[in-house]
C-alpha cells in the first residue's frame, strides 16, 4: 500500500525480537511505514482485515 509516498508493510514472524528489530530498521529509513505486526498467519489475517491493509 502506498500512502503519501510511503510503502506500508506488515511484519509477520513468530519471534517478537525479530519483529521488533525489523520494525526499528524499516522505520528508521524514509519511505517505509510499518502498518502492523503479528506472530502467526492466523493473527495476521485478523489484523490486516481489521486495518483494511
Q: Which distant-in-sequence residues (6+ apart) come within 8 Å of 49 by Cβ?
A: none
Q: What is the pLDDT of residue 3?
A: 58
Greatest C-alpha distance within the chain: 30
pLDDT tens profile 1-34: 555 688 999 999 999 999 999 999 999 988 999 9
**CA distance linking residue 17 with residue 20, whole number of Å:** 5
Q: What is the pLDDT of residue 5?
A: 85
Q: What is the pLDDT of residue 53?
A: 53
Alpha-carbon 29 to chain mean position? 14
Q: What is the pLDDT of residue 51?
A: 74
Amino acid at each position: 500500500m502506498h500512502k503519501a509516498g510511503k510503502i506500508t508493510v506488515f511484519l509477520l514472524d513468530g519471534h517478537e525480537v525479530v519483529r521488533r528489530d525489523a520494525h526499528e530498521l524499516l522505520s528508521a529509513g524514509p519511505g517505509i511505514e510499518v502498518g502492523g505486526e503479528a506472530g502467526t498467519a492466523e493473527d495476521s489475517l485478523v489484523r490486516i482485515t481489521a486495518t483494511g491493509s
